[in-house]
Structure 1
Amino acid sequence: MTATTVSRWARRYVIVSALFLVFWQSAALVGLPQQTGVLLGIYGFVLHMIFGKAYSLIPSYFNRQLTPDSAPMIQFPLTVVGTSCLIGASLTGGPNWVESVGAILWGAGVAVFLGALLWTIRDNLTGRETATGQSNVDRRPIDRLANGFIPVALLYLLAGSYETVAIYGGLPTLFDGYFPQVAHLLAAGTAALLIFALGFRLLPRFLVASPPRSLVTVVLPAGAFGPVLLASYLYGGRWFQLGAIIETIAVIGYALTYGILFMRSERRRVGFYGVLAGAGSGVLGVLLGVSFAFGQPTSSLVRAHFRLNVLGFLGLTIIGIAYQFYPPAIGTLRGASDRTALVSIATIAGGLLFQVIGFIGQISFVIQVGKLLTFIGALMYAYLLIAVFQTR
């Protein structure tokens, strides 16, 4: 399998991720269970995008070639079908064997993903070899530091996926068998930490600017340590409070770093605004989350926290980076343009803001308006990716 073929499979993961986003927003609009939304949002939308881009980025950042290069093709049906089974079981309330099959398929797919990447970088696990050229020699310290935290994010993926199989398959669990703990392992431990680590390599090059090294050295360790405390002591005790504070430091530090990069850059591409909106949503999300550690969360505030972090921080960041990798303007379908992409970002961000206001004020009409806007924005995002891929 050539690099071109790996890239082709990466696009399949990206388009499936976008479709899961559309299904997630439609599920929210019609009021399907929260569990369904978590599966669609994290397992479907966020992680499939990560799978697709990680196969391309991680080997190159470790100065290696993906081995075995057939891994994306083998994993694809396993995690897509596995996620679909878990979603289907959450909608119907059973039968249990559907959940078990879905969890096993998911676990098998993640095993392929982790096995291929870890085998590829087995002799460079610290990431000291970065493939950073002489023209970017000043970036090597940050590149090496960022590389070192990628295996930590993969460990979180292993733990979260094992816990998924354990919960649905009847195996001994690592934690309490409480699904929100798994969501924190995968969303904060895997997805957010990879956004920090890969982002500190990608974003400075996209923006042609240098991040403050002092902030990078704070964000990465905090982003690595916070999620394990959150997952282990969810909603109780001083350790949970400490985890919430550490994760808040990580996300706010990342947002400051990206804000500085954005201000230092002369480039103003459409995707950069998505990443900026994602960083802002992340700050709101963790501030709301840290309030849970020192107070009593209500169900509506928990929903606002989830959507700010998964649709806002992770989602808008993913959308912004996708627009950078797959520029909407090259699409030949009607309406494919940077302006449409900007509208999609604004629609999702605006709809998210409506929902948060509605959840905090418990105003159902405002929540529904927000959900409709995010659904429209998700459709636009999926359409623009289809337009780009159809052109290619």
Structure 2
Amino acid sequence: MSAAIVSRWARRYVLISALFLLVWQIGMLVGFPRRTEVLLGMFGFVLHMIFGKAYSLVPSYFERELEITRAPAVQFPLTVGGTCSLAVSSVLPGLEWLEPIGAILWGLGVGVFLVGLLWTIRGNLTGEATGTGEANADRRSVDRVANGFVPVALGYLAIGSYEAVAIHTTLPMLFDGYFPRVSHLLAAGTATMLVFALGFRLLPRFLVASPPARLVILVLPAGALGPLLLATTLGSSSTWFALGAVIEAVAVIGFALVYGVLFVRSERRRVGFYGVLTGVASGVLAIILGLSFALGHLTPSLALAHFRLNVLGFLGLTIVGVAYQFYPPAIGTFRGASNHAALLSIGCLAGGLLIQVVGLVVPLRLLILTGELLTLIGTVVYVYQIIAVFHAR
């Protein structure tokens, strides 16, 4: 019964994540501020997908069942309400009073999430017990290593969320109140780290292939250390910032290589796999751009391109690909729900993002608008596919 409850709530998180993506893409076209994009894209789209799937995956990967089964239901209105409040206050003048309310709601929701997961895995924090069956006994060593980095991602979530609350309230801040530190802690520290850790367990099973173990061992520690150096030295031209950029580059490029190997080795060709493939390619482009920042080549338009490549590209397209694997479009009951439509959504998202990036680098406003329109079309198709599948279930 508890598994059914968690699964039902996971679908709600996936749906609200998709709706946040839709609002974000509309906001791009109408000119939402950068802060609003971060809130809708990172807090809304990416993290709510992660919340929903983490409730389903993390307990089973640690050979446990979610003990506080009401946690997803309690958290949902808190983080959704917090994200909406923060986003609205960032885009509409005169509503600054919503900021502390939104931040507190977000912090409470994240607290529920962390307590729910950490209480569940409290006797197995290192992930020694993996829940790996005998049929996958050869994967057990990679599973065990990957498990060990899940608490690292949860730690980044706690630190980043606390700082977000502190910035908008009277709580003492851990850093200097510079909001991009929060977004880096949550994007690189939490979301990307969980993509690595859970991805090394999930993706080999999806593709029925084995990852290069040495690359896995390289990626995970680099992915754990890089965000700390980046977030704490962000905005400086110090050697530590450059080192953080290089370490994070090793992690993302290494993960891209692992997925590339899995993709080539696999005989399967599911539509969702192409989402992850375009996601890791976007991640490599984002890393190249990020490394240029460490060399002093930073402008507002390049920073926006970097953000979109990471959140809509690497994290976003990976999320879309994994969502299509968990929720196959072909089972959707609505007219137009199909693998071809899903592939169209991936193509529009990836192609539109690439056009946006070119437009931001050149810069050329017409290209940016064209790319934003394409990603909006891709998002609409994605949301439609998800709703069609959930209606069938």
- TM-score band, normalised by shorter chain: over 0.9
Separation (CA, whole Å) in 1 of partners of 2:170 and 2:289: 34
Separation (CA, whole Å) in 2 of partners of 1:42 and 1:255: 21
When structure 1 is superposed on structure 2, of 333-342 and 167-176 the one drifting more is 167-176
1:166 alignment counterpart? 166
1:250 alignment counterpart? 251
Separation (CA, whole Å) in 2 of partners of 1:97 and 1:353: 37
Separation (CA, whole Å) in 1 of partners of 2:268 and 2:94: 51
Separation (CA, whole Å) in 1 of partners of 2:360 and 2:91: 23
1:101 alignment counterpart? 101
The one-letter amino acid paired with 2:62 is: F
After TM superposition, the score normalised by the length of structure 2 is 0.99
2:267 alignment counterpart? 266
Separation (CA, whole Å) in 1 of partners of 2:201 and 2:32: 38
1:290 alignment counterpart? 291
The equivalences for 1:234-383 within 5 A come to: 234-236=234-236, 237-383=238-384
Structure 1: which 5+ runs fail to align?
Answer: none
**Shift of residue 175, structure 1, vs aligned partner:** 1.2
**Shift of residue 386, structure 1, vs aligned partner:** 0.2
Q: 2:345·2:379 contact (CA, 8 Å) conserved in 1?
A: yes
Q: 2:274·2:321 contact (CA, 8 Å) conserved in 1?
A: yes
The one-letter amino acid paired with 1:188 is: A
The one-letter amino acid paired with 1:307 is: R
For the pair 1:224 / 2:230, whether they are aligned, the reply is no
Q: 2:5·2:69 contact (CA, 8 Å) conserved in 1?
A: no
**Shift of residue 94, structure 1, vs aligned partner:** 4.0
Q: 2:349·2:379 contact (CA, 8 Å) conserved in 1?
A: yes
Structure 2: which 5+ runs fail to align?
Answer: none
For the pair 1:127 / 2:135, whether they are aligned, the reply is no
**Shift of residue 95, structure 1, vs aligned partner:** 3.3
Separation (CA, whole Å) in 2 of partners of 1:235 and 1:278: 26
Once the two structures are superposed, residues 221-246 of structure 1 have per-residue CA deviations (whole angstroms, 9 ceiling, x without a partner) of 00000000000000311100000000
1:24 alignment counterpart? 24
Separation (CA, whole Å) in 1 of partners of 2:134 and 2:5: 29
When structure 1 is superposed on structure 2, of 268-277 and 229-238 the one drifting more is 229-238
The one-letter amino acid paired with 2:130 is: T
**Shift of residue 391, structure 1, vs aligned partner:** 0.7
The one-letter amino acid paired with 1:346 is: G
Identity of aligned residues (%): 66
Separation (CA, whole Å) in 2 of partners of 1:260 and 1:54: 25
Separation (CA, whole Å) in 1 of partners of 2:364 and 2:130: 50
**Shift of residue 176, structure 1, vs aligned partner:** 1.3
For the pair 1:155 / 2:155, whether they are aligned, the reply is yes
Separation (CA, whole Å) in 1 of partners of 2:385 and 2:27: 21
The one-letter amino acid paired with 1:198 is: L
Separation (CA, whole Å) in 2 of partners of 1:256 and 1:312: 16
Separation (CA, whole Å) in 1 of partners of 2:2 and 2:219: 35
Once the two structures are superposed, residues 273-328 of structure 1 have per-residue CA deviations (whole angstroms, 9 ceiling, x without a partner) of 00000000000001100110111300010010000000000000000000000000
**Shift of residue 170, structure 1, vs aligned partner:** 2.5
2:15 alignment counterpart? 15
The equivalences for 1:174-253 within 5 A come to: 174-236=174-236, 237-253=238-254
Once the two structures are superposed, residues 59-87 of structure 1 have per-residue CA deviations (whole angstroms, 9 ceiling, x without a partner) of 00000010111100100000001100000
**Shift of residue 254, structure 1, vs aligned partner:** 0.2
Separation (CA, whole Å) in 2 of partners of 1:127 and 1:267: 29
Q: 1:235·1:292 contact (CA, 8 Å) conserved in 2?
A: no
Q: Structure 1 359/218 Cα, relative in aligned 2: closer, same or farther at 3 Å?
A: same
1:118 alignment counterpart? 118
Once the two structures are superposed, residues 337-379 of structure 1 have per-residue CA deviations (whole angstroms, 9 ceiling, x without a partner) of 0000000000000000000100010100000000000011011
2:292 alignment partner, SS class: helix
**Shift of residue 96, structure 1, vs aligned partner:** 3.2
1:195 alignment partner, SS class: helix
Over 2 Å off, 4+ runs: 93-97
2:79 alignment partner, SS class: helix
When the two chains are superposed, the root-mean-square deviation of aligned CA atoms in Å is 0.7
Q: Structure 1 98/52 Cα, relative in aligned 2: closer, same or farther at 3 Å?
A: same
Separation (CA, whole Å) in 2 of partners of 1:293 and 1:179: 19
1:141 alignment counterpart? 141
Q: 1:20·1:44 contact (CA, 8 Å) conserved in 2?
A: yes
Separation (CA, whole Å) in 2 of partners of 1:248 and 1:71: 35
